Amino acid sequence: MLNNGNYTVDLSGIEPGNYNFTVKHNTETVSASGSFQILEYNIEQQFLNADILKLKSVANNTSGKTFFSNETAKLTEELLEDNRYATIQKSTKNIVPLIDWKYLLGLIAISLFIEWFLRKYNGLI
């Protein structure tokens, strides 16, 4: 890819090792060769310890506090006393009637119709 008069390439998918390259022009007999080495790199192993000064700076800029791993009791106490993290309980009630009145009304209407029909059929009305 041409970028400000320079060619760049993404080599992020290449395994670590030594590589040789040759760049040739399509129409002219100009070429250039070279070599490069890709080192094995693990970002997680670059820094073994936290930068305490930067962490304290971030805490001070955000109105926070810094705690170390041996101060877990102090951290727990601080979180329990902080009103910004108050316990909130939310509940929702879904009230469903035991008997659905629409179906009950339909059942009563059908029962009355059947009783009327049977009485009319038997000559009782």
pLDDT digits (tens, 9 = 90+) for 46-92: 777 888 899 899 999 998 888 988 999 999 998 888 887 777 888 89
Is 33 domain-assigned?
yes
In a domain, 63, yes or no: yes
Residues 33, 10 share a domain: yes
Residues 37 and 55 in one domain: no
Pair (29, 54) in one structural domain: no
- Structural domains of the chain, count: 3
Kindly report the pTM of this predicted structure.
0.34
- DSSP letter, residue 68: -
Span 21-46, pLDDT tens digits: 898 888 888 999 999 898 887 777 77
Give the residue numbers spanning the domain of 25: 2-44
∠ CA(87), CA(92), CA(93), 5° rounding?
A: 140
pLDDT of residue 3: 77
CA distance 75 to 69: 9
Q: What angle do CA 29, 33, 34 make, to 5 degrees?
A: 170
Confirm whether 91 is domain-assigned.
no
